[in-house]
């Protein structure tokens, strides 16, 4: 037991140090934290707290985004994961990618229901959807999350919600209509190649998944941007990705019920 304690003790101290450095950043004392960061990265290159500090201090927004995504992918249960998810939403919003920001932020309270700064998440989510005229999405998500978290202040949004969660979910039934179209960017035998392309596409602001598929008896990893109500909408996204990354694409009709 004593040996086990001493193994854990350095990691306990690291957690304390990361929290201390975060407090210093909030106080505007960036230079001191920046001086200590190289040593932390050298000793704990794969610690989620250190990765989060790195991302906060990065001057390159795309590299910060990569680190935030790494935290969510490899350390989804970390206490820094909800803040990393919020930072991704803030990044999209700051770049004017309001649709991507809204989608990113709308998932956060459901995935991390114990996150303390839910009000900030909902405020930014509403601003994102309103910026592109998605009032239906505002009404839907505000209704859902107000029913889940009654302490949220939603009066400023001008949205009427019902008292009971089961009723609030019925605000806009048409939002339950499936989005059957996807944009498939490529399919790889090597999953690492698929994950590399997934990261590149996510960095330009789109929600990407890797789906297992079979072709000619081979098991492949398909990189797909999801999901769209119309073929036209999907094609526009595919063209945007091709313009930015130079990758070809295919629009496929793949309702969730088909599961393929």
Average the pLDDT over 213-240 and give the result.
88
What pLDDT sits at residue 161?
55
What pLDDT sits at residue 140?
92
What pLDDT sits at residue 165?
43
Q: What is the pLDDT of residues 131-149, one digit of tens each?
A: 999 989 999 999 999 999 9
Is the pLDDT reported for residue 122 higher than 90?
Answer: yes
Q: What is the pLDDT of residues 64-97, one digit of tens each?
A: 999 999 999 999 999 899 999 999 999 999 989 9
How far apart (Å, rounded) are the C-alpha atoms in residues 204 and 181? 20
Question: How does DSSP classify residue 95?
Answer: T
Work out the pLDDT band at 223, boundaries 50, 70, 90: very high
Work out the pLDDT band at 177, boundaries 50, 70, 90: very low
Handedness of CA 53, 56, 59, 64 (dihedral sign): positive
Question: Under a CB-based contact definition with an 8 Å cutoff, are residues 24 and 31 in contact?
Answer: no
Is the pLDDT reported for residue 245 higher than 70?
Answer: yes
How far apart (Å, rounded) are the C-alpha atoms in residues 20 and 26? 10
How far apart (Å, rounded) are the C-alpha atoms in residues 191 and 76? 20
């Amino acid at each position: 037991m004593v040996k086990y304690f001493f193994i854990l003790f350095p990691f306990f101290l690291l957690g304390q140090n990361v929290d201390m450095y975060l407090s210093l950043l909030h106080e505007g004392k960036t230079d001191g934290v920046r001086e200590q960061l190289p040593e932390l990265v050298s000793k704990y290159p794969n610690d989620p707290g250190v990765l989060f500090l790195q991302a906060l201090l990065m001057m390159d927004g795309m590299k910060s985004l990569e680190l935030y995504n790494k935290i969510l992918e490899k350390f989804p249960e970390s206490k820094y994961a909800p803040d990393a998810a919020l930072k991704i939403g803030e990044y999209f919003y700051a770049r004017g990618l309001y649709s991507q920001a809204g989608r990113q932020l709308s998932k956060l309270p459901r995935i991390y229901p114990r996150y303390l700064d839910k009000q900030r998440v909902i405020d930014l989510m509403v601003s994102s959807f309103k910026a592109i005229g998605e009032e239906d999405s505002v009404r839907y998500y505000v209704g859902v999350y107000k029913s889940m978290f009654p302490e949220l202040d939603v009066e400023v949004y001008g949205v009427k919600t019902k008292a009971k969660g089961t009723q609030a979910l019925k605000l806009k039934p048409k939002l339950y209509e499936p989005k059957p179209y996807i944009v498939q960017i490529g399919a790889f035998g090597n999953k690492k190649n698929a994950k590399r392309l997934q990261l590149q596409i996510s960095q330009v602001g789109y929600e990407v998944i890797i789906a297992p598929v079979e072709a000619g008896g081979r098991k492949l990893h398909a990189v797909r941007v999801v999901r769209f109500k119309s073929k036209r909408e999907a094609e526009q996204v595919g063209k945007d990705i091709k313009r930015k990354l130079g990758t070809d694409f295919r629009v496929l009709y793949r309702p969730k019920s088909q599961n393929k």
